[in-house]
């Protein structure tokens, strides 16, 4: 049976961040994920998780000035020190929240930048981060993201993600496979998942078009979720979508998977 993690950067947007924890627990989620916990103290986040009987499935390492349009800094040559500090902060939180994995957002290609240079920076940053996260018992992930929602994003396909994993050469670096992004960029969702299964540590779902809840678009999540089960995926399924019907009211799709 698939188990679901509520992505609090998308769900329960009408509530304050820490109030979203109880709402997710009440709706039957077993775990949480979000862009980052850094605006709250790690003690407060850990207490709220525990008070609501939730696990921490994942969060992103610090990803630059998100509000002002940055989408990660991991490929940017002039941000290496900041990236390294971010890894150390992410590991502090991961330890406090008993979070088994963190996701790296690669970054936007700056105008006129040399792609080979960006790739080298990303690979070196990931080598550095994979070593530190491995020492802490935390998996490191990278996520291909579709170019329609984030034009100019450096990492947008699983082929590219695989090449990066090969270049980094660490057994602690994995792919975060977001079915929504991959439907837009590649299609062929389950055959690709099957091929990359051993390199994928986390999956996320949303329907297309619209990035709304499963059942609102063209992706057959009934099939996908049963395939994830059949193929032995036992990680969390991250619900990273914009609820069309309100978060709780729009959870009808999840009913068959609740005990
Ligand atoms: O948007 C996504 O798919 C990501 O998972 C994310 O964390 C930020 O872009
Ligand atoms: Mg995602």
* CATH code for the domain of 41: 3.20.20.150
Phi then psi for residue 59, to 5 deg, are -150, 170
Q: For residue 60, give the ligand 1 atom closest to its CA.
A: 7
Beta strand 236-239 with 200-205 is: parallel
| Model pLDDT, residue 246 | 95
How close is the Cα of 78 to the center of ligand 1, in Å?
23
| Model pLDDT, residue 217 | 98
Q: For residue 63, give the ligand 1 atom closest to its CA.
A: 8
| Model pLDDT, residue 258 | 83
Any atom of ligand 1 within 6 Å of the Cβ of 7: no
Q: Are the beta carbons of 213 and 27 closer than 8 angstroms?
A: no
162 an active-site residue? no
Residue showing tokens 């490929």: 75
Q: For residue 145, give the ligand 1 atom closest to its CA.
A: 3
Of 6, 14, 91, which is closest to residue 52 (Cα–Cα)?
A: 6
| Model pLDDT, residue 11 | 98
| Model pLDDT, residue 198 | 98
Burial label for 198, CB within 10 Å (0-12, 13-18, 19+), is exposed
The active-site residue, picked from 33, 119, 213, 240, is: 240
Any atom of ligand 1 within 6 Å of the Cβ of 60: yes
240 an active-site residue? yes
Count of domains forming the chain: 1
Answering whether pTM is above 0.95, one says yes
How close is the Cα of 146 to the center of ligand 2, in Å?
10
The four Cα atoms 233, 211, 163, 194 give a dihedral, to 10 degrees, of 30
Range of the domain at 78: 3-257
252 token code pair: 């009808």
Peptide bond into 209 cis (omega under 30): yes
| Model pLDDT, residue 111 | 98
Any atom of ligand 1 within 6 Å of the Cβ of 33: no
| Model pLDDT, residue 259 | 64
Counting as low any pLDDT under 50, the low residues of the chain are none
Measured distance CA(15)–CA(36) in Å, rounded: 16
């Amino acid at each position: 049976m698939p188990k679901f993690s509520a992505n609090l950067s998308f769900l329960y947007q009408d509530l304050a961040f820490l109030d979203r924890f109880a709402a997710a627990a009440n709706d039957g989620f077993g775990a949480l994920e979000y862009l980052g916990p850094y605006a709250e103290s790690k003690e407060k986040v850990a207490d709220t998780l525990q008070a609501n009987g939730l696990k921490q499935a994942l969060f992103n390492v610090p990803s630059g000035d998100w509000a002002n349009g940055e989408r990660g800094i991991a490929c940017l040559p002039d941000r290496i020190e900041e990236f390294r500090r971010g890894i150390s902060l992410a590991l502090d939180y991961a330890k406090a929240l008993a979070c088994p994995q963190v996701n790296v957002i690669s970054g936007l290609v700056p105008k006129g930048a040399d792609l080979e240079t960006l790739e080298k920076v990303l690979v070196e940053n990931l080598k550095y981060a994979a070593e530190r996260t491995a020492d802490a018992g935390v998996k490191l992930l990278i996520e291909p993201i579709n170019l329609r929602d984030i034009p100019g994003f450096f990492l947008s396909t699983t082929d590219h993600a695989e090449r990066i994993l090969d270049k980094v050469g660490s057994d602690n670096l994995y792919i975060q496979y977001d079915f929504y992004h991959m439907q837009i960029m590649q299609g062929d969702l389950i055959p690709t998942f099957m091929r990359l299964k051993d390199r994928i540590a986390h999956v996320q779902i949303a329907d297309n078009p619209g990035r709304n809840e499963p059942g609102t678009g063209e992706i057959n999540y009934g099939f996908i979720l049963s395939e994830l089960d059949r193929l032995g995926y036992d990680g969390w399924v991250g619900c990273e979508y914009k609820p069309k019907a309100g978060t709780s009211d729009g959870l009808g799709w999840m009913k068959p998977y609740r005990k």
